[in-house]
């Protein structure tokens, strides 16, 4: 499992490209503590098999981007995370809110 903690602005997008299917979760600070304790946590995103995966940031704040591939082998999955401002999402794509 990989994670990044960033300040993100509302109506921007998190674009993730991964080499294998993965859970991609955008979790705010309050719920991230619960997530780390294996408790229920509210999140944006979900399970993706097709990439790039695009998740919209619902409001300004500190967000944790969690990518869980469940891989247990010798090879580590490759992951790329890009933050796109609202105006840079030029192609119509499925956006998870």
Tell me whether residue 97 is in a domain: no
The residues, ordered by sequence, that sit 6+ positions from 76 with a Cβ below 8 Å of its Cβ are none
Q: Which domain holds residue 84?
A: 2-89
Tell me whether residue 65 is in a domain: yes
pTM equals: 0.79
Tell me whether residue 96 is in a domain: no
Tell me whether residue 69 is in a domain: yes
Tell me whether residue 94 is in a domain: no
Tell me whether residue 39 is in a domain: yes
Tell me whether residue 63 is in a domain: yes
- Tell me what pLDDT residue 38 has: 75
Cα 8 to Cα 36: distance, rounded to the nearest angstrom: 20
Total number of domains constituting the chain: 1
Query: pLDDT per residue over 5-37, tens digit each?
Result: 899 999 999 999 998 999 999 998 888 877 777
| Full DSSP string of the chain | -EEEEEEE-TT-EEEEEESS-EEEEEEEHHHHHHHHTT-----EEEEESSSSEEEE--SSEEEEEEEE----SSSPPPEEEEEE-GGG--S---EE-
Q: What is the mean pLDDT of residues 42-48?
A: 90
Q: What is the mean pLDDT of residues 29-50?
A: 82
């Amino acid at each position: 499992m990989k994670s990044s903690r960033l300040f993100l602005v509302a109506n921007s997008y998190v674009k993730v490209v991964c080499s294998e299917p993965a859970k991609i979760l955008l979790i705010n600070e309050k719920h991230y503590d619960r997530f780390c304790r294996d408790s229920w946590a509210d999140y944006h995103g979900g399970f993706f098999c097709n990439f790039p995966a695009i998740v919209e940031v619902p409001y300004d704040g500190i967000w944790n981007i969690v990518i869980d591939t469940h891989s247990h082998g010798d090879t580590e999955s490759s992951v790329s995370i890009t933050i796109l401002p609202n105006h840079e999402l030029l192609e119509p794509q499925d956006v998870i809110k």
